[in-house]
Structure 1
């Protein structure tokens, strides 16, 4: 191997730099300074967590391709993150949100699964070179990472990157498409949130259930929230990394067995050890959500999982070259068609079932924005409703792996012609 020419090659130093960058982003995001408050109104913090580490790689301060940090984060922290994020899913509580809330959530999910292939077909018919590419640089592969992000979130996006072997430069382009299109749609939802009462009155939507929902959510969080103890954090580590160990064992067993006995399943990613790693980890978290372990959410299970996620995000960012982001601007058309289909489908279904606009907005952002923006949209209606966004977003973490993988298989078939 050729010796790296980067200024810093020690992974311990690189990890420290990434930690400082993440700390700086979150410190400024929480700042009350007018400049930062206005800055983060337009620039998502998540984008900076990708973008700033990419500068280190672009200017050869570090060599992301030679670092082992991404391998550690993707194989150890990502599965544990998926477990801790799905651990808090309360499926009965989701059901009690009402049929309309759940219908709107899964309508949004369906819109992402189908909208991606539709966008690929439309743009492919007009400009085939825009959605071409081979191997890890095939555009359809990159689109699976957007599907992961728009159904589940950053963890599912990173999982799809590995499962479908997406090239780093293409992944950087897809992040730009993801953030731009999702931010435009978020701005539209926030604009209409202030006009929700007029919209609901016009559509004849019944909003009384939202008031009951508001009181129920407030009572639940008041009952379970607590300051985490050392024992709680050790329990979280035991569960997160324990299920990760089971997932690795299962992946190491299943992937080689399928490769040896049914090699044709390779095109469905079933011979990929990483595929089984994320599926088993996600399934393990979902199963644990039916046990008393779910109460550890009160001690910060999803917070710890999110911390793992942001370390993963930074380690992905440090592999990207930002000069490649705008090499294919036509991809933004793909993203806008995709999110447009998602929006139109939600509006149609919402009108048919007379769902309150609140359910449409939060159901959409629980998919597209995840836990980062779904609470923001929910709180735009009423601050105490923010946990509803969190609840549905956590459901998105659970279905994101499966939904994005299904979308990827459809994209694969379309790309193959």
Structure 2
């Protein structure tokens, strides 16, 4: 078993490099392979094999701690830095309605799914311990509303135990990718589905033209100065977030310990909330120009390293002994999907808005562009745009979902 973190980090970097290299390959085999197997799934799955087959000792490694405390808040800053509230408003009300419907479906879907499963198996309401199912579900909520960063945030905020976390990561990855496959199929039949609903898709063409124009205007090759400023903003705001978290958490612990149930005594909670909030605030400053130099791409690199370290804590055999958790995840996703389809029909929203709004929640910036590009390659940034909103809302909405899950699961 490998215990040297430098070696483990190198192995994870090599795995990520392999996945991205093959995913962009023009070879027929890889094109067909990635048509059915999402690259994001491999970023979780391949590192998990290192743990499953006892090649590395992930539980005594400090890589996850480093990724969650340093890379995670920095990635949230860089991803929210690109938020364009005016651009989001310009997408039209239906796009925002579908996105927020997706968020609402996940927030209420988790507690409802837990209630349904508890009626079948009362053991699902297994108290308030570290491996309580409701705690594990908070990490899925974080992932499905924001992404890997928010998932890691919920793990720390709600003190999720290793066993239930491992199982829930498997539920998250498998169920989310099944739904993504459904969305990609819908994208291929978008014209037919839109015609059945009587949806007006003229806004999509306008949107596509605007996105192409925006790309040409702001995109540039990053200089060394740009990259250093990106690092300065990301890690500088992370430092500020750590500083305030170290003050606020002890203050609440000493003066209002009863607020611990709302995570206000957790330094990690304040770290993530402050980093996200300052990142959104920075989007209204000249720092926003760094997005043109690739701030979000740097943030995404951090996210993928975080995803890989999370993967090392995923035991792919975990669901073998807990198939009920997989059923729980399917019910949860069915509630989200059902609500999305219902609202899309009621407001006659284009399939594009429904699919991208859903994936911007469930898949985040890693896969929302994939679904958007399935409609048209130039629309991929729209997926990123909505996913950025998901990163911004993820911490808050997942935390609220966690409180609902606590009420249901812990009594």
Structure 2: which 5+ residue stretches go unaligned? none
Would you say the 8 A contact 2:41–2:177 is kept in 1? no
Asked if the contact 1:204/1:354 (under 8 Å) is kept, the reply is: yes
Which range moved further: 162-171 or 45-54?
Answer: 45-54
Q: State yes or no: 1:77 paired with 2:71.
A: yes
Match for residue 4 of structure 1?
none
Task: Select the residue among 278, 283, 286 that pairs with 1:284.
Answer: 278
386, 389, 403: which one pairs with 2:383? 389
Structural mapping, 1:34-49, within 5 Å: 34-49=28-43
Q: How far 1:199 moved relative to its partner?
A: 2.3
Q: What does residue 17 of structure 2 align with?
A: 23
TM-score (norm 2): 0.96
1:286-309 Cα distance to aligned partner (Å, 9 max, x none): 111111211211111111111111
What is the correspondence of 1:321-336 to structure 2 with a 5 Å cutoff? Answer: 321-336=315-330
TM-superposed deviation, 1:130: 4.1
Matched, 1:345 2:339: yes
User: Is 1:205–2:193 an aligned residue pair?
Assistant: no
Are the equivalent residues in 2 in contact too, given 1:137–1:167 (CA < 8 A)?
A: yes
Does residue 103 of structure 2 align to residue 136 of structure 1?
A: no
Name the structure 2 match of 1:297: 291
Structure 2 counterpart of 1:249: 243
For 1:402 and 1:384, how far apart are their aligned partners in 2? 30
Unaligned regions of 5+ residues in structure 1, if any?
1-6
Instruction: Output one character per residue of 1:40-96: Cα deviation in whole Å (capped at 9) or x when no partner.
Output: 223232232223223323333322121112111111111101101111010110001
Q: 2: CA distance between counterparts of 1:82 and 1:223?
A: 25
1:175: Cα distance to partner? 1.7
Distance 1:360 1:319, change over 3 A: closer
| Partner-residue secondary structure (3-state), 1:62 | coil
Contact 2:130 2:159 in 1 (8 A): yes
Question: Which residue matches 1:226?
Answer: 220
CA distance in 1, matches of 2:365, 2:89: 19
The structure-2 alpha-carbon separation of the partners of 1:99 and 1:329, relative to structure 1 and needing over 3 Å to count, comes to same
Aligned to 1:120: 114
Q: 1:133 offset after TM fit, Å?
A: 6.1
How far apart, in 1, do the equivalents of 2:359 and 2:352 lie?
A: 11
Residue 334 (structure 1) shift: 0.9
The alpha-carbon distance between structure 1 residues 361 and 319, as it changes in their structure 2 partners (threshold 3 A), is closer
- 1:172–1:325 CA contact under 8 A, matched in 2: no
Which residue in the other structure is 2:151 paired with?
A: 157
Moved more, 10-19 or 270-279: 10-19
Output the CA distance in 1 between the equivalents of 2:386 and 2:338: 20
Contact 1:54 1:322 in 2 (8 A): yes
Distance 1:8 1:184 in 2: 33
Distance 1:238 1:250 in 2: 18
Deviations 1:200-234 (A, max 9, x none): 22322222221111111111111010111000000
SS at match of 2:287: helix
1:85-96 alignment to 2 at 5 Å?
A: 85-96=79-90
Match of 1:3 in 2: none
Residue 386 (structure 2) pairs with residue 374 (structure 1)? no
Q: TM-score, normalised by structure 1?
A: 0.95
Query: Paired residue for 1:182, among 176, 181, 190?
Result: 176
CA RMSD of aligned residues (A): 1.5
* Aligned mates of 2:278, 2:47 — CA distance in 1: 31
CA distance in 2, matches of 1:316, 1:203: 40
- CA distance 1:196–1:320, change in 2 (3 Å): closer
Q: How has the CA–CA distance of structure 1 residues 9 and 198 changed in structure 2, closer, same or farther, with 3 Å as cutoff?
A: closer
- Structure 1 distance, partners of 2:26, 2:128, is 47
Matched, 1:404 2:398: yes
Separation (CA, whole Å) in 2 of partners of 1:187 and 1:229: 38
Residue 205 of structure 1 aligns to a residue in which SS?
coil
Paired with 2:312 and 2:185, the residues of 1 have a C-alpha distance of: 34
- List per-residue Cα deviations over 1:101-134 (Å, max 9, x = no partner): 1111101100010001100000011112245365
Q: d(CA) in 2 for partners of 1:365 and 1:41?
A: 17
